[in-house]
């Protein structure tokens, strides 16, 4: 299904927060290198990434609904961080720019509507600053998750706040599939979205910049992403529009990587693409899959190239299918990605579909609480795989069918540090 249904969810977290504790515990807040060791003779535990995505778009995970008091929002946020500690995770990927807006006081873009219910309205606190500080107190990394080009989950610019850059520059936008996007082919747009994201990098002590799978939008039947005029103006040197689009996204990734490192060398840059680059039937370098979406062709995102070029520090392919799924088998994609990342210096973590567990209509495997644990067991065959990330925080709390509890019991006996 790709991520059309994953990070585009409009689902509230009400109810999933029930029973969530807010007592992280002193030990959880003071985890050091010594504390992150196994019990066997003081031998240091192997570093691995254990993350969860904390989505804010549509109030998917947090805050559970817009318009709550700052105190209530803060309580919910800290509860999620405490649960990450309880599940022996070590990283939270926090969505801070869901729709060309901000969860911090940005000079470039308005406050997100998902906080107060009103775009541009000051919520009375700084969620990103709090998230960074409180994550670090709990020995959690805080990866700031940005969506570069999505402007709104509707196509009406008049619904944006009057000062919104997309409203001031309607020529920067394209309406497609019921949503509004910035046009990746316009150089000024590429520079602007980088500037907006770099503001957070420079001003906050984040551990990483994180993009997900949204570049050019997922294809919508019988609709056209109208960038003919942009191609005519800026596509010099390209006879193929698809190649030009890929070049636009390559430039975004390469330039953002360089800017992050120039500002703060220690801040990592990671991307979590849709799990299939290309099918082997399309390209002999592709995976043994038959997916309906291929990032190279449909999203114009040459994810394999970014890894091979070392433009990113880590990659988290969304391998959101069960073992044995015919069109995209988990046990076919993990070794493919392991081979791609091998000897590149780019860390490979696997994105896990916790959100599918126990959901009616999903394949039978997702109704087995041990399916995700089997994923982690299988991935251990490949030394290149250095961890996993779970979508998403609401399910990490809700623990559908006890699947997350099983993962922790089978694979996370103690807390460890993420890869450096």
User: What are the DSSP calls for 282-327, one per residue?
Assistant: T-TTSBS---S--IIIII---HHHHHHHT-SSEE--B--S-TT-SS
This prediction's pTM: 0.91
Model confidence at 151: pLDDT above 90: yes
Give the pLDDT confidence score for residue 46 in this predicted structure. Answer: 87
Model confidence at 38: pLDDT above 50: no
Bridge partners (DSSP) listed for residue 144? 94, 209
Angle, alpha carbons 223-228-233 (nearest 5°): 160
Q: Is 264 helix (H, G, I), strand (E, B) or coil?
A: coil
Instruction: Look at 162 and 35; give whichever has higher pLDDT.
Output: 162
Is residue 315 within 8 A of residue 49, CB to CB? The reply is: no
Instruction: Look at 201 and 26; give whichever has higher pLDDT.
Output: 201
Model confidence at 85: pLDDT above 90: yes
Indicate the pLDDT class of residue 7, thresholds 50, 70 and 90.
very low
How many other CB atoms are there within 10 angstroms of residue 65's CB atom? 15
Q: Is 408 helix (H, G, I), strand (E, B) or coil?
A: helix
Residue 383 neighbours by CB under 8 Å, 6+ apart: 338
Report the C-alpha gap between 93 and 89 in whole angstroms.
Answer: 11
Order of strands across the sheet with 179-182?
A: 150-152, 179-182, 173-176
Distance between alpha carbon 363 and the CA centroid of its chain, in Å?
Answer: 24
Instruction: Give the pairing of strands 347-352 and 385-390.
Output: parallel
**What mean pLDDT do residues 64-92 have?**
98
The closest alpha carbon to 410, from 87, 28, 25, belongs to 87
At 372, list the tokens.
Answer: 């995700």
Indicate the pLDDT class of residue 37, thresholds 50, 70 and 90.
very low
Give the pLDDT confidence score for residue 4 in this predicted structure. Answer: 36
Model confidence at 358: pLDDT above 70: yes
pLDDT tens for each residue of 259-280: 999 999 999 999 999 999 999 9
Range of weakest confidence among 40-44, 110-114, 315-319, 410-414: 40-44
* Mean pLDDT (the chain, rounded): 91
Give the pLDDT confidence score for residue 400 in this predicted structure. Answer: 98
Model confidence at 70: pLDDT above 90: yes
Report the C-alpha gap between 338 and 249 in whole angstroms.
Answer: 23
Report the C-alpha gap between 234 and 186 in whole angstroms.
Answer: 7
Is residue 300 within 8 A of residue 249, CB to CB? The reply is: yes
**What mean pLDDT do residues 184-199 have?**
98
Classify residue 148 by its DSSP letter: S
Give the pLDDT confidence score for residue 12 in this predicted structure. Answer: 35
**What mean pLDDT do residues 352-378 have?**
98
Indicate the pLDDT class of residue 14, thresholds 50, 70 and 90.
very low
**HEC profile for 122-135?**
CCCCCHHHHHHHHH
For the chain, give percent helix, strand, coil, nearest 5: 35, 15, 50
Q: Is 230 helix (H, G, I), strand (E, B) or coil?
A: helix
User: What are the DSSP calls for 14-33, one per residue?
Assistant: TTTTTT------HHHHT--T
Is residue 214 within 8 A of residue 187, CB to CB? The reply is: no
Report the C-alpha gap between 359 and 291 in whole angstroms.
Answer: 21
Instruction: Give the pairing of strands 179-182 and 173-176.
Output: antiparallel
**What mean pLDDT do residues 16-40 have?**
35
Considering the chain, what percentage of its residues have pLDDT values greater than 90? 89
Report the C-alpha gap between 121 and 111 in whole angstroms.
Answer: 6
Is residue 242 within 8 A of residue 300, CB to CB? The reply is: yes
At 284, list the tokens.
Answer: 């002999």
Maximum Cα–Cα distance for the chain, whole Å?
Answer: 66
Report the C-alpha gap between 196 and 144 in whole angstroms.
Answer: 13
Domains of the chain: residue spans and CATH:
26-149+185-411 (3.20.20.80)
Phi, psi of 210 (to 5 degrees): -130, 125
Give the pLDDT confidence score for residue 229 in this predicted structure. Answer: 98
Is residue 252 within 8 A of residue 194, CB to CB? The reply is: yes
Model confidence at 407: pLDDT above 60: yes
The closest alpha carbon to 95, from 39, 67, 56, belongs to 56
Give the pLDDT confidence score for residue 77 in this predicted structure. Answer: 98
Range of weakest confidence among 8-22, 137-151, 285-299: 8-22
Give the pLDDT confidence score for residue 420 in this predicted structure. Answer: 82
């Amino acid at each position: 299904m790709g991520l059309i249904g994953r990070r585009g969810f409009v689902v509230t977290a009400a109810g999933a927060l029930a029973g969530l504790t807010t007592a992280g515990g002193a030990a959880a807040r003071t985890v050091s290198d010594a504390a992150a060791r196994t019990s066997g003779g003081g031998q240091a535990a192997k570093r691995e990434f254990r993350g969860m995505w904390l989505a804010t778009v549509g109030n998917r995970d947090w805050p559970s609904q817009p318009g709550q008091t700052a105190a209530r929002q803060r309580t919910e946020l800290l509860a999620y961080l405490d649960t990450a500690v309880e599940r022996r995770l070590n990283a939270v990927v926090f969505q801070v720019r869901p729709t060309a807006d901000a969860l911090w006081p940005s000079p470039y873009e308005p406050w997100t509507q998902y906080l107060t219910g009103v775009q541009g309205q000051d919520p009375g606190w700084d969620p990103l600053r709090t998230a960074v500080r409180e994550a670090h107190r709990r020995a959690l990394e805080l990866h700031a998750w940005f969506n570069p080009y999505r402007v709104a989950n509707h196509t009406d610019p008049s619904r944006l706040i009057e000062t919104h850059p997309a409203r001031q520059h309607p020529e920067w936008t394209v309406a497609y599939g019921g949503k509004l996007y910035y046009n990746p082919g316009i150089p000024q747009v590429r520079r602007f979205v980088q500037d907006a994201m770099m503001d957070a990098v420079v001003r906050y002590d984040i551990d990483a910049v994180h993009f997900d799978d949204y570049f050019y939008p997922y294809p919508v039947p019988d609709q056209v992403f109208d960038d003919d005029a942009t191609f005519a103006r800026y596509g010099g040197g390209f006879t193929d529009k698809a190649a030009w689009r890929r070049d636009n996204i390559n430039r975004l990734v390469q330039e953002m990587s360089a800017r992050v490192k120039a500002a703060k060398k220690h801040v990592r840059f990671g991307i979590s693409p849709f799990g299939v680059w290309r099918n082997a039937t399309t390209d002999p370098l592709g995976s043994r899959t038959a997916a309906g979406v291929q990032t190279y062709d449909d999203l114009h995102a040459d994810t394999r190239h970014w890894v091979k070029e070392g433009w990113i520090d880590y990659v988290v392919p969304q391998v959101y299918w069960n073992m044995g799924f015919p069109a995209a088998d988990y046990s076919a994609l993990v070794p493919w990605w392991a081979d791609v990342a091998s000897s590149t210096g780019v860390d490979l973590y696997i994105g896990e579909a916790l959100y599918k567990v126990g959901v009616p209509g999903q394949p039978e495997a997702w109704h087995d609480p041990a399916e995700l644990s089997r994923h982690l067991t299988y991935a251990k065959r490949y030394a290149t795989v250095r961890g996993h990330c779970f979508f998403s925080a609401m399910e990490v709390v809700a623990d559908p069918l006890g699947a997350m509890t099983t993962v922790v019991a089978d694979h996370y006996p103690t807390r460890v540090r993420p890869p450096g």
